Structure 1
Amino acid sequence: MFPTLFRLSDLKVVMLLCVAVELCSCSSKNSSVSVLELSNDEETAYWIGNNKPVPDSDSLFYLDDPAPLFRKEFVVDGDLKSAWVQITAAGYYHANINGQRVEKNMLDPAWTDFSKRIYYSEYDITDLLDAKENCIGVTLGNGFYNPLPLKMWGRRNLRDVMHTGRPVFIGKIVLEYTNGETEEIGTDETWKYADGPLLKNNVYLGEVYDARKEVEGWDVPGFDDSSWNNAVRSDGPGGKLQKAFFPPIRVTERIRPEKIYSSEKGIWMVDLGVNFAGTFRIKLTGEPGDSVVFRFGERIYPDGTLNPMTTVCGQIKKEGVGGPGAPVVAWQTDTYILGHQKEAWYQPEFTFHTFRYMEIKGLKKQPGVDEVEGLALNTNVASSSHFSCSSELLNSIQDATQRTFLANLISVQSDCPAREKFGYGGDLNATSEAYIYNFDMQSFYRKTIYDWVDAMNDSVFVDTAPYVGIQYCGLSWESAFLTTQYYLYLYYNDLELVREMYEFNKKWMEKVARIHPENWVDSGLGDHESLVPVPVELTGTSHYLLCAEIMQKFASVMSDKEGEKQYQKLAAQIKQRLKQEFWDKPVTQEINRQTLFSTLLYYNVVPEEETEAAVDSLLAALENAPSHHFTTGIFGTKYILEALSKYVSPERVFQIVNSTEYPGWGFMIANGATTLWETWKESDNIYSNCHPMFGSVSEWFYRWLGGIQPDPEFPGFRKFTLAPGVPENMDFVNSGYTSPFGRIQSDWKKDENKVVYSFEIPRETSAVVKLKKEPAQSISIIKEGDKSFVSGSVSGLSSGQFELTEGKYRVTVQ
């Protein structure tokens, strides 16, 4: 088996060694892991490739570069008990055994800094093997390891900053026989390779597939590979091998077209009804050599033609922007060239797009709706949570939010899954709680933490993980590394991660203190996409405050008394500075007052006795806004949803969210959105139509309409709050969240002159219930399956605030 070269249980030790030298220098780009070793140190597998040189000029990268095919025949010599394959690549791969695909995984392995960390997968292949002769075939794609030298925004070439190289892979087959013997077939120079029919593949621009170059039978035994070359042993990318502990990327939904029509002569348009990230499958007919070209977009123009502009890579939209050899417009496109078979099914392998609309050129007849399907791709996180309500608009917003979230889970949580595909920290800070309410994110976010460990350095804040060279957004982006750890602790009670990362986190806090020695964040990006300017001093310093408070909590968990005092003092100093600058002084600068007052309330900066004045100021800011709606950006939206619900009422928020006026989520839905926009304003050219940052509204659905809220004193929902809001113009809410202890259900419905609540509380947990109750109203409770239960035994029932233990309850407020 592969050795676990970087076990989770060993991470703390590795961290301690790393931070003793330099923050984040967890492995050198010159290090190499070229051999898989057994426990007896016998060499069994190597990184191998085709040893094709990297082009010596940028323009040459755009020429045909066929994805290599690798094959190895082997014999099952005896009665087989079990067999499995362990495999990974720098780039992408897919593997076949005897002509059958080994895995359902797509775009494997997950994107990482391949010079530091590489995840491998393990598959049971017992049922794929024949009794004697067998063959494994592997195809390699470029992925993020061999990107094109596209100059995104005219200046950012990923090859200048990322560890890149030609795709290579490593793996082995393990055969276990009934007599107890084990045989291993690893990657080495005895494997053979040749060019395949996939002429080009890129995660941004798409792929070109020439079926005329298909090699029939190449991945089954008995194929004549005498003209093929021997694989070339490689040092590999250098990263440590680690077994993947998080879900793989899979096809999670198959989407049939809503309609297919001709936009102009010779062009067919496929409308899949919803915007999503992924790929497609289509039946093609034609003559050998016919080229069918596909383009993709989130929108169409009024005349029904494709609008691909919101998904163009890095805003490369005119001559000279993308660099030598780059397309004039870097839109998403795939090309299929028919071979000797006049009928074929085509599905791209090593790319993914974001689209609702697909333009097809070169197909002589209109495809049928049963001959095309969209294939939604995302990391296959479990989605057992649920929210729905009587407002169809809110249900549409929730559906669009979930679709946006999943579209941006392609092994990293991205900001947009077409134009950039990068794992920005700001979006994590804005939406990680919303993601957790909707999906099981524990293992995915652990992977995210390790991506940040590999991305950061000791002197400047970086914006993304994996690192892509961007470093202007500042602390509010890189701090996602720490805040995400806290949410793993709060929602999953992930104490192991707190212990693993604690020393590393302390060194990171020292780095922050060096960069911002006055406890004041004065550089970086503020409330991104706020309709009114917000200084970074407000949002950035608030995130610094959050980090200090998190470290105070982590120090307590670690029984670090001195650290707890240190971070408590730091948090108090930061909070006092925020109060002095943004509360005590008159506001004279242009600033989004919604973000200002909701931030101060969210972080408890305003003294308790002055909270009412801050709330009044927030309400006044709302009254002065267009349609009395939110004008906040990436962070302010999360803050105002919480602050307004906590200090005013969920009713006030509901009035805004349940409206189709601009600005707002309902405005997006009313204008045809099926995923969330990057901006409150509609964009048909610049901004992504599939961006998660305003998805914090889904967190509000669960927290304030369902009322399901974690208790920081009891992480992991051992004890939690149920405080459902009941707006005047809603009839019911159904909300369920799967905690580490089990299902939490919080439903309510109106029935004439009463509200009936249904609660489910998991075993070994308890909930503090907080219901809105007028003095003249009465409350009664029935516990399912417990005839001895009586309402009078519940302390505090008459006040509407009481505690319930495990079980299912029906609570009626009359």
Structure 2
Amino acid sequence: MKTLFAFIILLYVSGCISPKNDSDYTLLHDKGAAKWIGDNKTQPEHDSLFYLDDPAPLFRKEFTLSKELKSAKLLITAAGYYRASVNGHRVGRNMLDPAWTDYSKRIYYSEYDITDLLDSEKNCIGVTLGNGFYNPLPMRMWGSRNLRETLNTGRPVFIGKMVLEYQDGKIEEISTDNAWKFTEGPLLKNNVYLGEVYDAREEPTGWDKPGFDDSSWNNAVYAEGPGGKLQKAFFPPIQVTKRISPVKIYEPKEQVYMVDMGVNFAGVFKIKLEGKPGDSIVFRFGERIYPDGTLNPMTTVCGQIKKEGIGGPGAPAVAWQTDTYIMGDQKEVWYQPEFTFHTFRYMEITGLKKQPDPEDIEGLALNTNVAENNHFSSSSQLLNDIQNATRRTFLSNLISVQSDCPAREKFGYGGDLNATSEAFIYNFDMQSFYRKTIYDWVDAINDSTFTDTAPSVGIEYCGLSWESAFLITQYYLYLYYNDVELIKEMYEFNKKWMQKVARLHPEGWVDSGLGDHESLVPVPVELTGTSHYLWCARIMKKFAAFMHDRDGEKQYDQLAEKIKLKLKEEFWDKPVTKEINRQTLFATLLYYDIVPKEETAMAVDSLLHAIEQAPSGHFTTGIFGTKYILEALSKYVSPEKTFQVVNSREYPGWGFMINNDATTLWETWKESDNVYSNCHPMFGSISEWFYRWLGGIQPDPGYPGFEKFLLTPTVPENLENVSSSYVSPHGKIVSNWKKSGKMVQYEIEIPRGTTASVHLEKESSQKIELKKPDDAKFNPAQLEGLSSGRFELQEGRYLITIGER
């Protein structure tokens, strides 16, 4: 019988699971001239030797234009990272390119227009290679996990070509081959976790410009490459998306300078430096400071390596984030790290002779440059601070994968994806990014165990609630973007995956893995894991119906009913005798409609009682329970009740984080200055609630892609206004409201070709007035249900007022 692994290979061979860009794939290989090239260095024989200097190689190629140029393109990628320049000018804005993948399965390349960078005759292209996740250090994260033992690794290599089109129509290609020259460069060390060491004394001035003497350089060496299929990137690249100015610079100790960027974020920095040749300037980074104002780097330490011997031979005793710049002949330079990224609010600088000026330092926020056209804000500064912290956290965790934290792990965990993918979609255009994520999971999944991350780093601890993210995310791509092509492309693979789950959990009961991570009260995996299995069965029923697979539809319906019955029998019919977070328990049962309708009121009462018994009457839920309780409490009790919990600065809660100077979300409700990340997305499901319930913008599962949708804005007692908008596949949806005396005024915009089912809060004693300012012929009297506050609207802009008669 074929294994899932064999099935995956079959799909690769047939081209079933890959982005649709075959023409671009041919473009890179049409003459077969482009070859993988590298420096042919051998890897160290012992782990400790990986920590010695290993200069990043520089590659160059001079060429001459033979005729008048019409256009020029550069197609390039690497295993690891690359930086390309033409005639001394950086090519494009991409950073940390290419995106992280399993390089043995697929590698994405970028295409740049370099026409304006070329001179009329002599030219030079230069390429610097970085290690990225292809050549990681053998650090033993948590004392045991060595990425070199689980990732496909090797010496950094690259492949590419320039396509020159002349005015007379002639095409010339300049591809990577062994005629390129290379040497060791000034970047002595580079690692995505520990940072980099740059020695400006080793810079070969003008090396990437024509006329440079490279006679002492070596010829590039052909390399096999990592083996993955080359595909053109179809998703946004990582770029600098925001420049952040320091809010404060101070000196807690003599010649130790602290730079406070004001907010926590992921990225790098740019700084103007002055010094003498050989001066070493060291930068360290952290999310927090100690009471005496010195740096606290401990929440960002790689893999909890915090004492001698934990990280393995050669590893630092404390694996904190750090960069070093060694001055060369230039007395004044601008420095910006290239092949690493940090998470920090505070930057410590040592080695400078005087305190730097604020205008000489910039924080450079890095993230996959997803469109940020959606918006939520309100009259509450607290809610706005929570929303801003959530968005900042989300973007910081979009460095080609959706990570759990962008400092100490940087891995694409599926649990965080299941908890927050809808919140991400409400804030950003995630369609192409999540398609890339699906392919990462396809490459990561094996036949016999559940993997926790994509790309896979070998962690197999958390179980179905993590790996199921690849299927659940497909559903959200369908629901929010009507991505039916992905359903067609993945359907056979999804069926095989469900067969795997059935083999691992033959009774339909998930009894292994991680439960409601970071819940303040324990939650068994049997509840959350089995609920995710139920959700997967329901999704597959929908997908089978779309694919006209009647047998599959019946099969998945029966499976869903079987799992639902098991959950009901175990967690509803039986009395609760073991310690369990009752908030997560009853929220999960309500969220997944496991409780019989006639008994729903009992479940709601139990949920309310569980909230009342908690500290401050707040949520104590974890990674999944928080998403569930926000929805269940709003749907079955009232959004007003949810708002009362959210709009508080007491512990536990988002307001407590903000009140304790958080500018990104924490991994835990409790404050942590050592163990836990201070930039973790999983509690970001709150932003989904802002859009769904305060703005009221909700997709209709019967009409994927917002062809028809719900508008159910909530007007809490202690909130004066809300402004929200969401860009759907049909256009922008706007849902704004504000109070004016005893009236509430709504402004609604509905895109062309869509219908909104509007539900507005209205007492029987109140009147409702509706206007369509851009349509003089519009007659609101024709709207069925207007007087009740429940009616449908077609495309257009509307002004609605509800107030006393």
Question: Is 1:585 the counterpart of 2:574 in the alignment?
Answer: yes
RMSD: 1.4
* Residue of structure 2 aligned with 1:530, choices 519, 541, 551: 519
Within 5 Å, give how 1:305-344 maps onto structure 2: 305-344=294-333
TM-score, reference length from structure 2? 0.97
1:507 aligned residue? 496
Q: Deviations over 1:454-481 (max 9, x none)?
A: 0010000000000001001000000000
Within 5 Å, give how 1:92-131 maps onto structure 2: 92-131=81-120
Question: Is 1:411 the counterpart of 2:400 in the alignment?
Answer: yes
- SS of 1:612's equivalent in the other structure is helix
Q: AA paired with 2:542?
A: K
2:35 aligned residue? 46
2:711 aligned residue? 722
- SS of 1:466's equivalent in the other structure is coil
Q: Deviations over 1:43-96 (max 9, x none)?
A: 211000000001010000000000000000011100111001000000000100
Question: Is 1:152 the counterpart of 2:141 in the alignment?
Answer: yes
- SS of 2:719's equivalent in the other structure is coil
- SS of 2:752's equivalent in the other structure is strand
Q: Deviations over 1:577-627 (max 9, x none)?
A: 100000001000100000000000000000111100000000000010000
- The Cα of 1:799 is off from its aligned counterpart by 1.3
Within 5 Å, give how 1:374-385 maps onto structure 2: 374-385=363-374
Question: Is 1:137 the counterpart of 2:126 in the alignment?
Answer: yes
2:606 aligned residue? 617
2:19 aligned residue? none
2:6 aligned residue? 21
- The Cα of 1:18 is off from its aligned counterpart by 9.3
2:184 aligned residue? 195
- The Cα of 1:19 is off from its aligned counterpart by 5.3
Cα separation, partners in 2 of 1:485 and 1:38, compared to 1, 3 Å? closer
Separation in structure 2 between the aligned mates of residue 688 and residue 26 of structure 1, nearest angstrom: 38
1:661 aligned residue? 650
Within 5 Å, give how 1:40-79 maps onto structure 2: 42-79=31-68
- SS of 1:219's equivalent in the other structure is coil
Separation in structure 1 between the aligned mates of residue 416 and residue 513 of structure 2, nearest angstrom: 15
Question: Is 1:605 the counterpart of 2:609 in the alignment?
Answer: no
Separation in structure 1 between the aligned mates of residue 300 and residue 124 of structure 2, nearest angstrom: 40
CA contact under 8 A between 1:48 and 1:189: conserved in structure 2?
yes
Within 5 Å, give how 1:281-292 maps onto structure 2: 281-292=270-281
Question: Is 1:161 the counterpart of 2:150 in the alignment?
Answer: yes
CA contact under 8 A between 2:28 and 2:34: conserved in structure 1?
no
Cα separation, partners in 2 of 1:321 and 1:350, compared to 1, 3 Å? same
Within 5 Å, give how 1:25-40 maps onto structure 2: none
- The Cα of 1:773 is off from its aligned counterpart by 1.1
Separation in structure 2 between the aligned mates of residue 728 and residue 746 of structure 1, nearest angstrom: 18
CA contact under 8 A between 1:781 and 1:790: conserved in structure 2?
no
User: Once the two structures are aligned, what percentage of the paired residues are identical?
Assistant: 74
* Residue of structure 2 aligned with 1:566, choices 543, 555, 579: 555
- The Cα of 1:789 is off from its aligned counterpart by 1.5
Q: AA paired with 2:578?
A: Q
* Residue of structure 1 aligned with 2:755, choices 766, 771, 776: 766
* Residue of structure 2 aligned with 1:298, choices 287, 290, 294: 287
2:444 aligned residue? 455
- SS of 1:618's equivalent in the other structure is helix
Separation in structure 2 between the aligned mates of residue 338 and residue 136 of structure 1, nearest angstrom: 26
Separation in structure 2 between the aligned mates of residue 474 and residue 36 of structure 1, nearest angstrom: 35
Separation in structure 2 between the aligned mates of residue 263 and residue 488 of structure 1, nearest angstrom: 49
1:402 aligned residue? 391
TM-score, reference length from structure 1? 0.96
Q: AA paired with 2:170?
A: E
Cα separation, partners in 2 of 1:572 and 1:24, compared to 1, 3 Å? farther
1:3 aligned residue? none
**Residue ranges of structure 1 left out of the alignment (5+ in a row):** 1-16, 29-34
Separation in structure 2 between the aligned mates of residue 630 and residue 718 of structure 1, nearest angstrom: 34
Question: Is 1:239 the counterpart of 2:224 in the alignment?
Answer: no
Separation in structure 2 between the aligned mates of residue 748 and residue 410 of structure 1, nearest angstrom: 35
Separation in structure 2 between the aligned mates of residue 505 and residue 363 of structure 1, nearest angstrom: 57
- SS of 2:135's equivalent in the other structure is coil
- SS of 1:140's equivalent in the other structure is strand
2:198 aligned residue? 209
- The Cα of 1:800 is off from its aligned counterpart by 1.2
- The Cα of 1:561 is off from its aligned counterpart by 0.8
* Residue of structure 2 aligned with 1:389, choices 370, 375, 378: 378
Q: Which moved more, 1:165-174 or 1:39-48?
A: 39-48
- The Cα of 1:723 is off from its aligned counterpart by 0.2
Separation in structure 1 between the aligned mates of residue 637 and residue 514 of structure 2, nearest angstrom: 29
Q: Deviations over 1:406-457 (max 9, x none)?
A: 0000000000000000000000000000000000000000000000000010
2:421 aligned residue? 432
CA contact under 8 A between 2:28 and 2:75: conserved in structure 1?
no
Q: AA paired with 1:605?
A: I
Separation in structure 2 between the aligned mates of residue 156 and residue 196 of structure 1, nearest angstrom: 30
Q: AA paired with 1:79?
A: E
1:89 aligned residue? 78
1:706 aligned residue? 695
1:732 aligned residue? 721
Q: AA paired with 1:429?
A: N
Cα separation, partners in 2 of 1:420 and 1:24, compared to 1, 3 Å? farther
Q: AA paired with 1:653?
A: T
Q: Which moved more, 1:393-402 or 1:19-28?
A: 19-28
- SS of 2:551's equivalent in the other structure is helix
Separation in structure 2 between the aligned mates of residue 194 and residue 42 of structure 1, nearest angstrom: 28
2:361 aligned residue? 372
CA contact under 8 A between 1:193 and 1:230: conserved in structure 2?
yes
2:465 aligned residue? 476
- The Cα of 1:775 is off from its aligned counterpart by 1.1
Separation in structure 1 between the aligned mates of residue 404 and residue 29 of structure 2, nearest angstrom: 45
Separation in structure 1 between the aligned mates of residue 780 and residue 740 of structure 2, nearest angstrom: 20
- The Cα of 1:715 is off from its aligned counterpart by 0.2
Q: AA paired with 2:6?
A: V
Question: Is 1:262 the counterpart of 2:251 in the alignment?
Answer: yes
- The Cα of 1:25 is off from its aligned counterpart by 7.6
1:651 aligned residue? 640
Separation in structure 1 between the aligned mates of residue 12 and residue 792 of structure 2, nearest angstrom: 50
For these two proteins, the number of residue pairs brought into alignment is: 793
- The Cα of 1:268 is off from its aligned counterpart by 0.3
CA contact under 8 A between 1:24 and 1:454: conserved in structure 2?
no
Separation in structure 1 between the aligned mates of residue 764 and residue 601 of structure 2, nearest angstrom: 24
CA contact under 8 A between 1:18 and 1:24: conserved in structure 2?
no
Q: AA paired with 2:417?
A: L
Q: AA paired with 2:136?
A: P
- The Cα of 1:22 is off from its aligned counterpart by 3.6
Q: Which moved more, 1:784-793 or 1:795-804?
A: 784-793
Q: AA paired with 1:665?
A: W
1:14 aligned residue? none
Separation in structure 1 between the aligned mates of residue 530 and residue 9 of structure 2, nearest angstrom: 23
Separation in structure 2 between the aligned mates of residue 347 and residue 709 of structure 1, nearest angstrom: 42
1:784 aligned residue? 773
Question: Is 1:756 the counterpart of 2:741 in the alignment?
Answer: no
- SS of 2:420's equivalent in the other structure is helix
* Dislocated runs of 4+, deviation >2 Å: 17-28, 35-43
Separation in structure 1 between the aligned mates of residue 123 and residue 679 of structure 2, nearest angstrom: 44
Separation in structure 1 between the aligned mates of residue 487 and residue 714 of structure 2, nearest angstrom: 33
CA contact under 8 A between 2:4 and 2:446: conserved in structure 1?
no
CA contact under 8 A between 1:296 and 1:333: conserved in structure 2?
yes
Q: Deviations over 1:770-798 (max 9, x none)?
A: 11111111111001211222221110111
**Residue ranges of structure 2 left out of the alignment (5+ in a row):** 14-23
Separation in structure 2 between the aligned mates of residue 647 and residue 606 of structure 1, nearest angstrom: 12
Separation in structure 2 between the aligned mates of residue 36 and residue 139 of structure 1, nearest angstrom: 23
